[in-house]
Chains A and B, each alone.
Chain A
Amino acid sequence: MDIFLLEAIINGILLGGVLALLALGLNLIFGVIDVVWICYAELVMCGMYMIFWLHGFFGWPILIASFAAILGVAGLGMLLHLLVISPILGSAPINQLLATGGMLFFLQSLATLLFGTDFRNIGLRLPIIEFGDIFISYSRLLAFGAALIGAVALYLFLSRTYLGIAMRAIAQDREVMGLMGVDQRRIYLITSAVGGALAGLAACLLVLQYDVHPFIGLSFGPITFMICVLGGLGNMIGGFVAAFVMSQIIAIGGYYFSIEISYVLAFVFFIVLMFIRPQGLLAR
């Protein structure tokens, strides 16, 4: 087998890890609150700026800066829920989609206003691992590992803790859970915080690989929604599988054609699959 193709496939798997991590938070929010945060990738952008300023400008150690960013984005998630989502929880789903779409625009413009359109990086470059003739970036490996750990941790949280079980129960039946004495508003707020924290974690890993600029969200946002929908919105395992399918299409498409064409293929694949399996890849 062609060594470059092999490298593309391996990098595709690693990219899949990052995409899976991004999809995880969005999926959680959708599954529990039944809202799609169109501005999810913009929250990641906010997290990346937090790390850039805390580490790159104020000189905080990278781990502490990352931790602060995770908490910060979790806070943003709660704010987003309180200010934007909860006033319109009762209205048409499409209004919720559009309100968070408005937030996308707002966050992008605010970042442009505050930081300008410069590409910034934290000036921390992790080594590249050479494995035979194959080059693998360490930061991608790290992201991949974190995505796996994040997924397992989320799975344990949702299946073993009271809060997690309450979240899943709410996703199944909103009305009855209220009668069972679960405070829906509190669960929603916590879910938003966890979803935000996952976006923050994604930010920590992305900032190692990409320069941050106000429009970076647009390069991850659309593909993340497609992955969530492809996996079946709210279906964590489906999202995980879909992330790797999409990343392979992108990696192998990029190897044979160009990076834009590979994304075109991924989106076309998504559209076609929506027609064949509208309930998601893993639907029975």
Chain B
Amino acid sequence: MMHEANRRIAPLILAAFGLAVVPFVTSDYVLHIAIQILLWGFVYTAWSLMGKFGLVSLGHGAFLGIGAYVSPLLWNYAGLTPWLGIPIGVLMAVLLALIIGYPCFRLRVIGHYFALVTLALSQVALLTIVAARDITGGSLGMTPRAVGHSWYALQFPEKPYFYAIALVVWVFGIGVWHFVDLGTGRAALDAIAEDEGAAAAIGINVMREKLRVTVASAALTAFGGALLSQYFMYVNPDTLSGIGVSLQIVFAAIAGGMYSAFGPTAGGLFTIALPEILRISMGTNFVGAANTIYGALLVIFIIFMPRGIIGLVERRLAAPPARI
């Protein structure tokens, strides 16, 4: 038993050490990519909390957008530190998740319909941000007022700081994923995903279980959005809100594999590293080439590998090669 546990933990410690050492051995460019992978990986993980139980939300662009905009707005117009602004943004996202989630679950809006209601939600968020262009800068985006290196403003021009933050947050996201996966709610949520009526009949509180996972997912997504805006020091409605981002989140989580803890992060690695590699190898002559290949791969993934990259790897590892 002990031996088994050691074998599982040893590679994790090794991996943690490897990740911690990254900023000391690489360039700012690699660090920049790594931070994006970790932060987006965190957001994708947050989405998969719902996704793996059949709650396919196309509304996460709304939660991400709220998280990304509230804190910079409060900072620019009220001088409120992100240490308070980010929790406020997260709370607002949670509130929105409840406003949409409660009636959806009460009235049993599921499947296609849940996806389309949440899709409308992400469009509402995007259009509201664009419409409020006097304060949000509309489609042009906005920049949080820069003050240089500051803990108070949560601004760090040096990349290793943000790498450390992103790493801690990402590990936290993986932790939440495991917490949900190992907790009692998981069996209940699996049952709900299979057959909601039957689950309710055997005494599962469908509403409570669904709302809990929805709130957790929305809160983490908004938190991820806040950190993304804090890191990039720029927010734009098209890259942080709306249907495009919602689809990006869903695809990355699915491409990576939403049924494994590291799947969504693998999706992040794939969706951020692939365009970078394609861009470097093909130059900027072919605008859109990277995305075209990415889009084609997505469709192929969904058709042939619904469990994603990590799902495929796990299956290979689980099934020992046949002996002749």
Contacts and interface: CB of A to CB of B under 8 A. Distances in A.
Interface of A: 36, 84, 87-88, 91, 93-95, 97-99, 101-113, 116-117, 214, 218, 221-222, 225-226, 229, 233, 258, 260-261, 263-264, 267-268, 270-271, 274-275, 278
Interface in B74-110: 100, 103-104, 107, 109
B213 to A, nearest CB: 17
Interface in B226-274: 243-244, 247, 250-251, 254
B39 interface: no
Contacts of B317: none
A88 B11 CA distance: 37
Contact of B112 (A36, A111, A222, A275): A36
A110 B288 contact: yes
Given A264-B131, A278-B113, A105 B303 contact: no
B113 A274 contact: yes
B235 to A, nearest CB: 17
A271 B247 contact: no
A278 B130 CA distance: 29
Contact of B247 (A104, A109, A264, A268): A104
Which 9 pairs show the lowest CB-CB distances between chains A and B?
Answer: A106-B295, A112-B288, A109-B291, A113-B288, A260-B131, A102-B298, A105-B295, A102-B299, A109-B292
Given A261-B131, A274-B113, A222 B299 contact: no
Contact of B295 (A87, A109, A229): A109
A106 B131 contact: no
B299 A103 contact: yes
A113 B289 contact: yes
B254 A106 contact: no
A270 B128 CA distance: 16
B111 A84 contact: no
16 contacts: A36-B112, A94-B115, A95-B302, A103-B299, A105-B294, A108-B291, A109-B295, A112-B287, A113-B286, A222-B120, A260-B128, A264-B128, A267-B121, A270-B117, A270-B120, A271-B124
A226 B128 contact: no
Contact of A102 (B124, B290, B302): B302
Contacts of B127: 260-261, 263-264, 267
B295 A102 contact: yes
Most buried by A among B115, B116, B244: B116
Contacts of A111: 288
A275 B292 contact: no
Nearest to A259: B131
Contacts of A99: 299, 302-303
B124 to A, nearest CB: 5
Most buried by B among A102, A214, A225, A226: A102
Contacts of B301: 102
B123 interface: yes
Most buried by A among B109, B119, B254, B294: B119
A94 B111 contact: yes
Interface residues of B, number: 44
B61 to A, nearest CB: 11
A43 B26 CA distance: 44
A112 B291 contact: yes
- Please report whether the interface of chain A is mostly helix, strand, loop or mixed according to DSSP: helix
A103 B131 CA distance: 29
Given A274-B117, A278-B109, A103 B295 contact: yes
Interface in B275-312: 286-292, 294-296, 298-299, 301-303, 306
Contacts of A267: 120-121, 123-124, 127
B141 interface: no
A63 B103 CA distance: 49
A105 B291 contact: yes
Most buried by B among A108, A214, A274: A274
Contact of A260 (B130, B244, B295): B130
Given A116-B287, A271-B120, A275-B103, A91 B306 contact: yes
B54 interface: yes
Given A91-B306, A95-B306, A278-B109, A263 B299 contact: no
B205 to A, nearest CB: 21
Most buried by B among A95, A98, A264: A98
A261 B130 CA distance: 9
A103 B294 CA distance: 10
A101 B250 contact: yes
A113 B288 CA distance: 5
B189 interface: no
B136 to A, nearest CB: 11
A94 B100 CA distance: 20
B49 interface: no
A267 B251 CA distance: 23
Most buried by A among B100, B104, B124, B286: B124
B215 interface: no
A225 B302 contact: no
Given A105-B298, A110-B288, A113-B288, A222 B117 contact: no
